[in-house]
């Protein structure tokens, strides 16, 4: 069925490549791939008629035909947090984070391509999701993680049968080790950053919000941003739904003050973001000093009429505690958006507009604030 898999295209220089033979990045500029795919806005979009998984949105997804990889991911509920703010509980996914949305797509692509093994790099949630869905697909899997990765997350990866390689150094060191393996024959690099199929999985987040709100989107989608995979997926969905007559939302991107290269670039009016230092933060899941898709993230936020918000460590801790007090036990990174727009936010960035924010990862996956 590989003939049915849309190919890659480089967003910067237009280079095109067949998924079956392509390197993991653009061979001309070294940047991440986009996908040569746009769903037909005239095609039926009736998720209620589909399976109980994100494959319900099959007409908007780039993998036509029969699929076999699924654990009934998606379809997570919306819960009111305030009069005009809802949280989408993506930590209720099978592996307890939103990364399942992209991992199931990567595993299905890999299943169709039939590599000898799958490799990925991750600071935690993406690795656990890739490990689980590769197990579901019967694929050999190897995850490269930086030293200091939560033992709960690496334990989950091993439980799914993945080989875990702990790499000395930070997140970039783990990525470099995985990419060295990705260049070898017979390897599929399940990168949640460089492979665009992941973004077409995360876009189902916004499709579900559209469905749950009765065929509309909120005025604002508030999204945590590190590598930007959820925000870019939401931007894809907003663009695709706009072709069906749905009013697109403004995208509010949230970063921790401690590691905020995108917010700094946005404030400076820059089209790209330079690297920043790696500093400790409770929001470790979005502490990415040099996001490879920085240009796309900045462009998407600007195009939407949105903005960037940053949150202090004190605000993250307070928001994390506040959510727990409301019965929502999430990992500290997942509290970033609530810290930015919730009742304790230093300003009122939403200005009365309707908004949806994600709670991306379960508290059981990381050590919460004491």
Each residue's pLDDT tens digit, 157-177: 999 999 999 999 888 889 999
Three-class SS state of 40:
coil
E strand intervals along 209-321: 220-224, 250-256, 307-311
The pTM score is: 0.95
3-state secondary structure of 71: coil
Between CA 46 and CA 340, with CA 197 as vertex, the angle to 5 degrees is 85
Q: How confident is the model at residue 310 (pLDDT cuts 50, 70, 90)?
A: very high
pLDDT at 48: 86
Q: How much is the average pLDDT of 193-215?
A: 98
pLDDT classification of 99: cutoffs 50, 70, 90: very high
pLDDT at residue 2 is higher than 60: no
Average pLDDT score over the chain: 94
3-state secondary structure of 45: coil
Find residue 145's DSSP bridge partners. 166
Instruction: Report percent pLDDT > 70 for the chain.
Output: 98
pLDDT digit string (tens) for 82-94? 889 999 999 999 9
C-beta separation of 102 from 108 below 8 A = no
For residues 206 and 296, what is the distance between their CA atoms, to the nearest angstrom?
18
Dihedral, 42, 44, 47, 49 alpha carbons, nearest 10: 180
Give dist(CA 362, CA 96) in Å, integer: 5
Measure the CA–CA gap between 53 and 97, rounded to whole angstroms. Answer: 15
How many C-beta atoms lie closer than 10 Å to residue 21's C-beta? 8
């Amino acid at each position: 069925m590989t003939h049915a898999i849309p190919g890659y295209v480089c967003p910067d220089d237009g280079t095109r490549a067949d998924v079956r033979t392509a390197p993991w990045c653009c061979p001309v500029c070294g940047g991440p791939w986009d996908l040569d795919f746009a769903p037909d806005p005239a095609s039926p979009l009736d998720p209620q008629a589909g399976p109980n998984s994100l494959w319900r949105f099959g007409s908007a997804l780039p993998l036509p035909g029969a699929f076999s990889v699924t654990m009934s991911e998606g379809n997570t509920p919306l819960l009111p947090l305030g009069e005009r703010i809802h949280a989408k509980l993506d930590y209720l996914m099978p592996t307890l984070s939103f990364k399942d949305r992209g991992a199931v797509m990567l595993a299905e692509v890999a299943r169709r391509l039939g590599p000898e093994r799958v490799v990925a790099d991750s600071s935690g949630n993406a690795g656990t999701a890739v490990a689980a869905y590769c197990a579901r697909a019967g694929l050999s899997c190897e995850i490269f993680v930086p030293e200091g990765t939560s033992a709960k997350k690496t334990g989950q990866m091993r439980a799914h049968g993945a080989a875990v390689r702990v790499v000395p150094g930070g997140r970039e060191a783990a990525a470099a080790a995985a990419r060295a393996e990705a260049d070898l024959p017979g390897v599929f690099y399940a990168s949640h950053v460089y492979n665009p199929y992941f973004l077409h999985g995360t876009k189902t987040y916004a499709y579900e919000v559209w469905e749950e709100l009765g065929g509309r989107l909120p005025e604002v989608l508030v999204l945590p941003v590190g590598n930007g995979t959820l925000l870019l997926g939401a931007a894809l969905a907003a663009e695709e739904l706009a072709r069906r007559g749905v009013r697109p939302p403004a995208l509010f991107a949230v970063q921790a003050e401690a590691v905020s290269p995108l917010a700094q670039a946005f404030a400076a009016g820059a089209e790209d973001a330079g690297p920043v230092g790696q500093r400790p933060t409770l929001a470790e899941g979005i502490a990415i000093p040099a996001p490879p898709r920085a240009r796309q993230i900045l462009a998407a936020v600007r195009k939407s009429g949105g903005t960037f918000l940053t949150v202090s460590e004190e605000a993250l801790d307070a928001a994390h505690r506040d959510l727990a007090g409301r019965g929502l036990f999430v990992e500290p990174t997942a509290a970033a958006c609530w810290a930015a727009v919730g009742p304790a936010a230093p300003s009122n960035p939403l200005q009365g507009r309707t908004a949806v924010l994600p709670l991306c990862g379960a508290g059981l996956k990381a050590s919460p604030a004491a």
